[in-house]
Structure formats: C-alpha cells, structure tokens
Amino acid sequence: MEQNRIVQKIVIILFAFGISMSVNAQMITDKQIDVNQMNSKDLNEAPKKVFIKNFKVYYQMIAEAEKTIQGGRQFGGGTYTGDATARLVVGVEGIEPEDLQQLTNSLYNDYVTKLKNLGLEVYSSKDYPNLESFADDELLDGPRINEEQIEGSLMVVPDGFSYYVKKVTKKGKEKGGFISNLGGSGVSEFTSSINHKGLPKVSQELDDMIVVDVAVNVPSMYMDQKAALGSVKIKGGSDLRLENARATYGSGKLNKPGAATPDKYIEMMLKEPIKIKGVFAEQEFKSQAKRQTTSVPSYSSYFSVGNSKMELSNTIKCNSEDYTREVGKAVTEFLDLSIDKLKIGMSGEKVK
C-alpha cells in the first residue's frame, strides 16, 4: 500500500510538472528571430538612460478581401461574360477596444519596469518637449487608438506614453517622414528602423542616450484569393499569431560623413510568425462567384450581362480574457527576449 501511495504521488508530481512546463513553455526561440547589431558590446558605454521613441501594438480585428475576374468578349466572338466578384469579410467578436487598450497599457508598463530593473532611467517625448529633432512635429499622447494606420487593424498606444508624428491627416492617419513612409505606414512600421526613423539624430541630441523603437503586429485571420475556370474564390479563417514584431535599441551616431546610423545598436525582429493558441477555434470561410455567360448577335453594338456578386460576412468569436492572456504572453515574451539582448550588450558582450 505504501509503495502504491508513493507511485501515485510521483505520478501526480510529474503530471503537475508537465502542466507547468506546458503553461510556461517558450513560444519564441533564437531560431525564430533575426538579430542585427553593430558594436553592441559598446552599449555598456552608453548613458544608463533610454528614450522610448515609439511603442505601438497593432491588433487585427477585421479582414476583408475582394477579387474580381473581368468579363468581356470571348475568343472567337459571339459570346460574352459578365464580371464575377467574390467578397469575404471576417471580424473578431468578443474583444472591445477598451480590452486592447488595457492590454497595451499592461504590456508597456511591464516593459518599462523591466528596463528600470536593468538600472535604466526611462523617458519618452513628453519628458523632452523641446527637442530640435521634433521641432516641426506634432506631439500625441496615449492612451490612443487609431483605426486608420493599417486597414482592418487597431493601432493602440499605451497610457502614459507620448510620441511625435509629422502630421495627422483629416482621416486620422499618422504620417512620419518621407523616407519612413516609403511603402506605406503598414510596411515601414515593421521594417528596420536603423536607417530611416531618425534614431541616431535623436540619440545624438540626447547625449547618446539609448533610443528605443518598438512595433508589434498581431494578425487574427488569413485570406487566400484564387481565380480559375471562370470563377473566383476567397477562403479565409482564424489564424491568431504574432508577426512582424520589431524592437530596436540604438545609441549615438556613426562618425562618418552623411551617415544616418547609430554607432552602436541592437535590432531584433521576428523572421517567422508565432502561432498563438488557445483563443480561437479553427474556423474557415469561403466566398465564391461564377461569371454569367450570354450570346449576342455579332452585329449588336450594345449588350448587357448581369454581374454575379456574393458577399459573405462572418465572425470569429473568442473570450476577451483568453485573448488578452495569450496575446499578452506572446508579446511579453518577444519584448523580454529583446531586453535580454540589450542586457548582454550593456554588460560589454557582443550580442548574437
């Protein structure tokens, strides 16, 4: 009997340990990130201060796709086809903007606390209102939610954080500098910020303070469009993931004529999406449309063919607590990994 009880206890302990390991399992490994650095070991010479220039998280709430195949006279004449358009709109249900704001606030506060735990003083634009680097720019304060930056996504800025933009359009879209906007804000936000977002200029003005630029993208869905044999089809579904995340730490300005690069920096970027499980059920949606065909006399100058168009709207349901918990874990892990890289550089070692 005693031996049986011991065996049972061992089984229970191993079971509990297994659950703990699964709950705390690492989602992001070094194989899934790219680390770009220059003179990273010299970050130990930088002031023990950081200036957070950018901190934004994008949450995809709606995915919309539309594809059309054009009609017209068919080869050989006499037969005409109309256009066929398929359209699919999928939205996330169960999450409110307030939930995303609270999540982003929590992510930011945790991030700042961990930077301070490295012995760093933490500042943002509100702490330096007279920087020459932003003399012609507009100061924006969090909390802030913007739906104009990336179609279908909410860009969320944390409470207590301030940042500069060149301007805000009438529609509410934030604009950066000319170079930083190349390819569109949705593209430039997640590309390298080493050479085109003014980090070295700001750092130089702040006596080589470490300048931080963070942007994280959390898509919820996928869309796949196909057209063949007179029909067009769109397939979409749930696919919650961490994607295009970037954290940049730069100090100083490279001492070369015309250089716009920090003389020491670390930049960490995801090189593949990180699946976020336990939030959405697996769901898939389709929309399909076929072209209508009619024959008309070859001498007819005018004709009309009805277009076939389908719209299919769907929702992906989730629990807000599940979403904020699991997304929060993924984003926190990415940010923690970037802080680990910064810590290595600040200790005088080269970051790999």
Output the DSSP codes for 54-85: EEEEEEE-EEEEEEEE--EEPTTSSEEE--EE
Output the DSSP codes for 324-339: HHHHHHHHHHHHHHHH
Number of helices (H), then strands (E), belonging to the chain: the values are 5, 22
- What's the CA gap between 327 and 241, in Å, rounded? 8
Output the pTM of the full model.
Answer: 0.78
Do the beta carbons of residue 302 and residue 77 sit within 8 Å? no
Q: What is the pLDDT along the chain (352 residues), one digit of tens a residue?
A: 555 554 454 344 344 434 433 445 678 988 999 999 999 999 999 999 999 999 999 998 877 665 554 444 444 454 444 455 555 677 788 888 999 999 999 999 999 999 999 999 999 999 998 899 898 899 999 999 988 888 888 899 999 999 999 888 888 888 875 444 444 455 578 888 887 678 889 999 999 999 999 999 999 877 765 544 445 566 667 789 999 999 999 999 887 766 578 999 999 999 999 999 999 877 666 554 544 433 333 223 222 333 344 333 577 888 999 999 999 999 999 999 999 999 999 999 999 8
Length of the chain: 352
Q: Which of 174, 181, 189, 118 is nearest to 142 (CA)?
A: 174
Q: Could you tell me the two tokens for 6?
A: 């011991």
If one counts every other C-beta atom within 10 angstroms of the C-beta of residue 300, the result is: 9
Name the maximum alpha-carbon separation found in the chain. Answer: 99
